[in-house]
Structure 1
């Protein structure tokens, strides 16, 4: 059965000061209304505040399901529709797809481009500044509502009215939710880590996490990634 999902939004952001200390971040994305070039590095006009941890060929596009926003409004005690697409730093917003229905390696057309799901998202502490909550990154990680990333297999032009059309699903047994569970909840399941490490479509950095856990027999400390550094 074919899978086609219209875009709810195509979003980009510029680096701006974030939080009391003015940390540069482009986590706040805004809707665009014209076609944009999509290269292996991402959308034309989109920026990242920290190119070591954000962006790059394995994280060229970030996708968050629009339906997650209603869940967050309830969980955070916010008025209905107080959050808008782009609040979590995503470039693509759709309804229908989620972490349980999207698999690593899924290959899609979007406009004249071809993109492939490369990994899930590991939230970082800049979300704490974005939402003025010291625990926001941890909440996002624990929720499993963190979205996923794409690499660009074929650059092209994409427009807000385009549709995501599924071309190929090489790993139907590996939805993003399974990857997130293996990383964040069942962190030393050796059989699962061995399978993760062997996934050719999974981003090298995520395969390296699985390999390192197998070698060390330990899960890395999440705190440096999730906790806002002192003074920020």
Structure 2
């Protein structure tokens, strides 16, 4: 896969969208430096109320820019950071990666893919009807589909910038498909 970072975003306060930055720094075991979701334990507002001591498997949110292209065809204008992701990518099939994949971002940073982002109803507050485009029931398989990106934990610290290359290192076989985290 010939992937690259197209945008990086972080926000120090809880809000749905995250402003784009020139660079973000990933911190091993924590997440994006200065981001409200960084930490060793869960930082998602809703989940902190009932699972505060569990490990934070959602330190970094990655989203494929190709989703924005798909949504534009359906009349939704969405750009990097607006759906709360930290790293926007192009050229990597994020949703097709197995659990445990290592993504090398730029020269130093490495994240390990932990699972799929579980989209919440706040997506409809951002754009009415958008939730149905990023989450739904596949009529053929009967399985739920999740298109709103993947989550990861930081394994190696380092800066990440737009235009950085993305290297994909698959885990050993057998591969485990992504599940919601």
Same fold flag (TM > 0.5): yes
Query: Is residue 90 of structure 1 aligned with residue 85 of structure 2?
Result: yes
Indicate the SS of the match to 1:104.
Answer: coil
Q: CA deviation at 1:100?
A: 4.7
Unaligned runs of 5+ in 2: 38-42, 49-54, 137-144
Of residues 114, 122, 126 in structure 1, which corresponds to 2:110?
Answer: 114
- Report what 1:152 is aligned to: 154
CA contact (8 A) 2:95 2:116 kept: no
Indicate the SS of the match to 1:8.
Answer: strand
**Higher RCO, 1 or 2 (CA under 8 Å, sep at least 6)?**
2
Deviations 1:160-180 (A, max 9, x none): 34222123423564443xx47
Of residues 137, 151, 167 in structure 1, which corresponds to 2:131?
Answer: 137
Indicate the SS of the match to 1:62.
Answer: strand
- Report what 2:4 is aligned to: 6
- Report what 1:209 is aligned to: none
Residues 117-196 of structure 1: matches in 2 within 5 Å? 117-131=113-127, 133=128, 135-142=129-136, 144-171=146-173, 173-176=175-178, 179=179
Name which of structure 1's ranges 149-158 and 31-40 shifts more when overlaid on structure 2: 31-40
Q: CA deviation at 1:47?
A: 2.0
Deviations 1:41-82 (A, max 9, x none): 21122224844538x63111111110111211222x24xxx3
RMSD over aligned Cα atoms: 2.7
Closer, same or farther: CA 153–92 of 1 in aligned 2, 3 Å: same
Unaligned runs of 5+ in 1: 16-24, 181-205, 207-232
Closer, same or farther: CA 108–138 of 1 in aligned 2, 3 Å: same
Q: How many residues align?
A: 161
- Report what 1:104 is aligned to: 99
Query: Is residue 64 of structure 1 aligned with residue 63 of structure 2?
Result: yes
User: Which has the greater radius of gyration?
Assistant: 1
Deviations 1:135-167 (A, max 9, x none): 543442215312111111223333334222123
Distance 1:40 1:129 in 2: 31
